[in-house]
């Protein structure tokens, strides 16, 4: 309990740190949001007027203090250019991103775990080497290229899936696989080594000695034990995915917060950039926290301190 409390406080401090660093970085950015709002025909007077209205003429710490004060009341501010509440913009897009992330995690587990198990069973043989080489490729393949390739082959040429967009399960398949491919490389390697370790364990030898079939030994006895440490990694994945969704959402026209962030960055719409950064940081911190809390449940040798 004390541990959880301490971790929560730590998490809050991390979020505060993230908000401060992001705020400072956006403050020192050599691009003036006021000029983006005021337009190219604006007079110097108009520009100053808008700067005052938005409080951007104040010193950094005053601005940051105001931001935190509003944040404490759950107010993320209004978009400079769209004038809409940032919280509304993020909330309207969050479900799409969460859906994509869940599907992405599912895809990476299915792909990664099956590759890892197969490789472990074929250990040292050509199949193993081929699978591990594939994992190298999937880890290093640029997501932009992978997504366009998948779109071209499976949507345009074969017509199995819609060409981008959002709405049905069919829309979800290709972006989820694109996201999953990156992580599947890591998972296949983790799963392979975990599986090999378990297969060497005494209880597996016992199971085999009892005369159980190969499939039963692998899936009933080895897999549940080998999979646990791998599952514990999912929480950490959220951070990695946050980077990937910006690209994947853009290519597939997926209306999530990655797309929102990308457009806001191009328009120097600071309240949106701050909002999305904070929400992402929150998701990552939460993911890590969950991963740590779940770990001892899976493996009793781990103690929380």
Q: What is the nearest approach in angstroms of other proteins to the Cβ of residue 178?
A: 13
Nearer of residues 151 and 278 to other proteins, judged by Cβ: 151
Nearer of residues 11 and 263 to other proteins, judged by Cβ: 263
Cβ atoms of 234 and 187 within 8 Å: the answer is: no
Of 205, 255, 246, 204, nearest to 226 by C-alpha is 204
Q: What is the nearest approach in angstroms of other proteins to the Cβ of residue 27?
A: 14
Nearer of residues 30 and 300 to other proteins, judged by Cβ: 30
**Which residues have a Cβ under 8 Å from the Cβ of 17 and sit 6 or more positions away?**
none
As a whole number of angstroms, the distance between CA 246 and CA 240 comes to 11
Q: Cα torsion for 7, 10, 16, 21, to the nearest 10°?
A: -120
Of 105, 156, 46, nearest to 291 by C-alpha is 105
Nearer of residues 186 and 254 to other proteins, judged by Cβ: 254
Q: What is the nearest approach in angstroms of other proteins to the Cβ of residue 40?
A: 5
Cβ atoms of 150 and 175 within 8 Å: the answer is: no
Nearer of residues 143 and 184 to other proteins, judged by Cβ: 143
As a whole number of angstroms, the distance between CA 276 and CA 288 comes to 18
Of 50, 79, 55, nearest to 65 by C-alpha is 55
Residues that bind other proteins (CB under 8 A): 29-32, 35-44, 46-47, 49-50, 53, 78, 81-84, 89, 92-93, 96, 148, 151-152, 155-156, 163-166, 249-256, 259-260, 263, 266-268
Q: What is the nearest approach in angstroms of other proteins to the Cβ of residue 111?
A: 24
């Amino acid at each position: 309990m004390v541990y959880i409390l301490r971790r929560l406080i730590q998490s809050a401090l991390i979020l505060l740190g993230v908000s401060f660093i992001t705020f400072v970085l956006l403050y020192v950015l050599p691009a003036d949001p006021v000029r983006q709002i005021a337009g190219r025909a604006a007079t110097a007077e108009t520009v100053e007027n808008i700067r005052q209205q938005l409080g951007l003429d104040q010193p950094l710490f005053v601005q940051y203090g105001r931001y935190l004060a509003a944040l404490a009341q759950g107010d993320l501010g209004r978009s400079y250019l769209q004038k809409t509440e940032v919280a509304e913009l993020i909330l309207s897009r969050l479900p799409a991103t969460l859906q994509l992330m869940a599907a992405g995690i599912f895809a990476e587990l299915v792909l990664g775990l099956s590759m890892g198990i197969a490789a472990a069973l074929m250990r040292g043989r050509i199949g193993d080497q081929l699978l591990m080489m594939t994992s190298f490729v999937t880890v290093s393949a640029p997501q932009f290229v992978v997504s366009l390739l998948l779109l071209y082959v499976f949507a345009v040429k074969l017509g199995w899936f819609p060409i981008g967009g959002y709405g049905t399960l069919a829309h979800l398949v290709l972006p989820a696989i694109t996201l999953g491919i990156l992580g599947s490389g890591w998972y296949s390697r983790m799963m392979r080594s975990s599986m090999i370790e378990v297969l060497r364990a005494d209880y597996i030898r016992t199971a085999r000695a009892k005369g159980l079939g190969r499939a039963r030994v692998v899936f009933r006895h080895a897999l549940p034990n080998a999979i646990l440490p791998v599952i514990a990694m999912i929480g950490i994945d959220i951070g990695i995915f946050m980077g990937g969704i910006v690209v994947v959402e853009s290519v597939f026209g997926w209306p999530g917060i990655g797309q929102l962030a990308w457009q806001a960055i191009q328009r120097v719409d600071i309240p949106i950039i701050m909002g999305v950064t904070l929400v992402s940081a929150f998701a990552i911190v939460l993911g890590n926290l969950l991963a740590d809390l779940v770990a001892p449940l899976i493996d009793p040798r781990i103690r929380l301190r």
